[in-house]
Amino acid sequence: MAARLLTCAFALFATTSPLHAVEVADPNVKVDTSGLATLSGNPASNPYRGNARAADIGRTAFNQACARCHGIDAVNKGQVGPDLTKMDRACRRITDPAVQRLCVEDNDDFFLKSVQQGKVRVGVVHMPAWQDVLSPAAIWTLRTFLETRRGQ
């Protein structure tokens, strides 16, 4: 509750402050992950990889939360954020399947942390932190959706 109020207060501050207006995690984003396996612990790699339902949920969530900076359906048409369909490009060039898996899992961890903590460089928020808005399960649906867009 306190966290919620804080988020609202921050959102209010942010919308009245032109400098920060664009970099706030939208507190109204709601991602319904019911029907997906409940996560045990806090996995550092994607527990929903290849799960079609998770990818569907992730697509809707992505278009609500991420599209304004990373493009609708992750198709980047000059938005400020990088093209997220290319995140695993270097991993795909690895021929050893075990090493390739490690590479993708490393990106999973990077993805989770990037989304939870956002991107702040020398005090400037390039991407807001989503940890108070999106559950880890919701974040993994985003990653699962993006994996269906690889190379497109």
Contacts with ligand HEC, residue ranges (CB under 6 A): 22-23, 65-66, 68-70, 80-82, 84, 87, 111, 114-115, 119, 121, 126-127, 130, 142
Q: Which is nearer to ligand HEC, 101 or 126 (CB)?
A: 126
Residue 114, both tokens: 């990037």
Q: Which is nearer to ligand HEC, 98 or 128 (CB)?
A: 128
Question: Nearest approach, Cβ of 58 to ligand HEC (angstroms)?
Answer: 9
Q: Which is nearer to ligand HEC, 39 or 69 (CB)?
A: 69
Question: Nearest approach, Cβ of 38 to ligand HEC (angstroms)?
Answer: 21
d(CA 115, CA 143): 10
CA-to-CA dists, residue 5 to 20, 67, 128, 132, angstroms:
18, 25, 17, 11
Query: CA 65, 55, 68 angle in degrees (round to 5)?
Result: 20
Question: Nearest approach, Cβ of 70 to ligand HEC (angstroms)?
Answer: 6
Query: CA 41, 137, 117 angle in degrees (round to 5)?
Result: 90
Question: Nearest approach, Cβ of 126 to ligand HEC (angstroms)?
Answer: 4
Measured in whole angstroms, the distance separating CA 116 from the mean position of its chain's CA atoms is 8
